[in-house]
């Protein structure tokens, strides 16, 4: 759990009490900051990566804009099919469950998100999003890793991880100096191995975690012990969890279901990271993309439903992102190539529902791509300051104006 001491770590060097700054003495400013952070210290952030570059134009459809249909002769979604969010834009027709959440005021659609001098390489653009830095020599730590490091408390139970990856491998966003972020799938694998042969598992644990040991063996045993204890907690969380929520099959649904188990178990996890791949739709996009968006919408809705039934919904915020959007005009293979600027969703009970940011122009393009209207780090700054209670400027290296979405 987040303690007072954590928060001190988090604010170190950055006394950023927004409205009070300069009016009241620094001491009070800090207290106000602390109070705000204390209110947030049970908040959980779930980041959902849409890997491959999601076609934002066909996700949040500008159905009144003739340029959209001109650029998308075969892929354009007809105005009558888009699920209208207002009189200008609508969601992809297979995103019904998300549209329902939107109606309930639990979704904010951030339009035109990107960064300057967009890079069309998956690797590079992902690196920029994960590190929150456009420097050519980006920091080793990811933005979420920095958050966890900043609040990394001394003397807490190390087996209570504050970040967890639901993906197959550790995402770059979770790279950190001090904090170890376990990959849930790998801990599960260990549990599976042991479950397959109970006596073997028991003995392995005994021998792997015995106190003492020559050379580096002692270190390795302490690490192994930590792994077992963490795995155990996840297993307990899964055992306690019961749910009626209907998650779709596919990559994302099971990850979010696992996230709900972990959140319901109140283990002190602050950040979870899930990923859905397949958005790199260079050819025959329509079917694939629709399928992915359907899974996305159904997974997010099931997750919200699940959290509500476990009375955790007020504490959880979901943010989606993708490394880039796609080229405005479709290619010759009924697909789209790598572009820039896209859209992201914030979902959760505490989200201010609606649309934010400005829909990017289809007239004025940058090298055939949308020009972003919102820097993605404004979204990060919002999440850090208004959801996780961590001063963003220091972490992001510069000031980004927060959005009015929380």
Partner 1 sequence: MRLVLGDAVVWRRDREAGTCGARRRIGRRGIGGPLMGYFGGLVMRIPDLSPYVPGSDGPWDARTAAHLLYRAGFGASPSEIERAVSAGLEPTVDSFFSESPGEEEHFQRTFEDISASMANFGEPFVLRAWWIHRMVRTSVPLREKLALFWHGHFATSIGKVENTYLMHRQIETIRQLAWGNFRELVLAIARDPAMLVYLDGESNTKEHPNENFARELMELFTCGIGNYSEKDVAEAARAFTGWHREGSEFRFNPEAHDDDVKRILGRSGRFDGSDVVDILMQHAATPRFMARKLLRFFATAEPADSAVDSAAESLDRAQLHIKWFLRDLFLSKYFFSDECRGKRIASPVEFVVGAVRTLGVRIPAFELAERVAAMGQELLAPPNVKGWDGEQKWINSSTWPARVAFAEQIAGLFSDNPFGPHLDLPTLVPPDVTDPNAIVDRLAGLLMAAPLAADTRRDLSEFLITTDEGKRPDLFRDDPDFRADRTRAVLGMLLGLPEFHNC
Give the residues across from 165 on adjacent strands: 183, 273
In the bound state with partner 1, the residue whose beta carbon lies nearer, of 189 and 284, is: 189
Total residues belonging to the chain: 406
CB of 123 to partner 1, least distance (A): 4
Ordered DSSP codes for 124-160: HHHHHHHHT---SS--SS-HHHHHHHHT--TTS-TTS
**What is the number of other CB atoms lying within 10 angstroms of the CB of residue 212?**
7
Q: What DSSP character marks residue 249?
A: S
Q: What are the structure tokens assigned to 391, written together?
A: 């001063």
From the list 209, 237, 204, the residue with the least C-alpha distance to 222 is 209
CB of 139 to partner 1, least distance (A): 9
Q: What are the structure tokens assigned to 376, written together?
A: 């993605």
Q: For the chain, report the end-to-end CA distance as a whole number of angstroms.
A: 22
Q: What DSSP character marks residue 374?
A: E
C-alpha 405/C-alpha 380 separation (Å) is 12
CB of 200 to partner 1, least distance (A): 6
In the bound state with partner 1, the residue whose beta carbon lies nearer, of 82 and 227, is: 227
CB of 170 to partner 1, least distance (A): 5
In the bound state with partner 1, the residue whose beta carbon lies nearer, of 211 and 332, is: 211
Number of Cα atoms under 13 Å in the Cβ half of residue 247: 20
CB of 131 to partner 1, least distance (A): 10
In the bound state with partner 1, the residue whose beta carbon lies nearer, of 21 and 202, is: 202
Residues within the interface to partner 1 (CB under 8 A):
121, 123-124, 127, 136-137, 140, 161, 165, 169-170, 175, 180-183, 186-187, 189-190, 193, 197, 199-200, 203-204, 206-208, 210, 213-217, 219-221, 223-224, 226-227, 230-231
Ordered DSSP codes for 175-229: --SS----BHHHHHHHHHHHHHSHHHHHHHHHHHH-S--STTHHHHHHHHHHHHH
CB of 380 to partner 1, least distance (A): 21
CB of 204 to partner 1, least distance (A): 6
C-alpha 246/C-alpha 258 separation (Å) is 13
At 46 the three-state DSSP class reads strand
CB of 156 to partner 1, least distance (A): 15
CB of 41 to partner 1, least distance (A): 23
C-alpha 129/C-alpha 376 separation (Å) is 8
The values of phi and psi at residue 168, to 5°, are -70, -40
In the bound state with partner 1, the residue whose beta carbon lies nearer, of 213 and 287, is: 213
In the bound state with partner 1, the residue whose beta carbon lies nearer, of 58 and 131, is: 131
C-alpha 368/C-alpha 232 separation (Å) is 51
In the bound state with partner 1, the residue whose beta carbon lies nearer, of 152 and 186, is: 186
In the bound state with partner 1, the residue whose beta carbon lies nearer, of 8 and 156, is: 156
In the bound state with partner 1, the residue whose beta carbon lies nearer, of 109 and 132, is: 132
């Amino acid at each position: 759990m987040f303690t007072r001491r954590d928060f001190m770590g988090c604010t170190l060097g950055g006394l950023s009490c927004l409205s009070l700054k300069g009016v009241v003495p620094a001491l009070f400013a800090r207290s106000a900051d602390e109070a705000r952070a204390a209110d947030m210290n049970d908040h959980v952030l779930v980041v959902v990566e849409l890997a491959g570059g999601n076609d934002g134009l066909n996700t949040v459809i500008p159905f009144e804009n003739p340029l959209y249909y001109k650029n998308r002769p075969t892929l354009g979604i007809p105005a009558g099919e888009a699920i209208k969010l207002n009189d200008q834009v609508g969601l992809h027709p297979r995103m019904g469950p998300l549209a329902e959440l939107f109606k309930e005021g639990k979704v904010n659609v951030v339009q035109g998100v990107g960064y300057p001098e967009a890079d069309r390489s998956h690797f590079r653009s992902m690196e920029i999003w994960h590190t929150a830095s456009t420097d050519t020599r980006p920091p080793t730590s990811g933005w979420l890793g920095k958050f966890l490091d900043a609040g990394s408390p001394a003397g807490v139970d190390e087996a209570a991880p504050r970040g967890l990856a639901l993906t197959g491998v550790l995402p770059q966003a979770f790279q950190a100096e001090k904090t170890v972020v376990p990959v849930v799938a790998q801990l599960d694998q260990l549990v599976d191995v042991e479950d397959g042969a109970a006596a073997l598992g028991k003995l392995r644990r005994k021998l792997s975690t015995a106190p003492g040991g020559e050379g580096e063996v002692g270190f390795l045993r302490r690490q192994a012990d930590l792994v077992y204890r963490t795995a155990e907690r996840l297993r307990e969380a899964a055992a306690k969890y019961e749910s009626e929520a209907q998650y779709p099959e596919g990559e994302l649904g099971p990850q979010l279901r696992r996230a709900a188990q972990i959140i319901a178990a109140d283990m002190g996890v602050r950040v979870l990271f899930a990923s859905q791949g397949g958005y790199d739709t260079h050819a025959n996009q329509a079917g694939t993309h629709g399928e992915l968006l359907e899974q996305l919408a159904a997974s997010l809705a099931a997750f919200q439903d699940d959290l509500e039934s476990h009375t955790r919904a007020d504490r959880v915020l979901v943010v989606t992102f993708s490394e880039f959007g796609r080229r405005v005009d479709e290619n010759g293979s009924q697909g789209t190539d790598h572009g820039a600027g896209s859209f992201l969703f914030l979902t959760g009970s505490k989200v201010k529902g609606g649309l934010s940011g400005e829909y990017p122009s289809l007239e004025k393009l940058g090298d055939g791509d949308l020009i972003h209207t919102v820097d993605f780090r404004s979204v990060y700054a919002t999440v850090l300051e208004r959801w996780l209670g961590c001063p963003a400027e220091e972490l992001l290296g510069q000031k980004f104006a927060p959005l009015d979405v929380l």
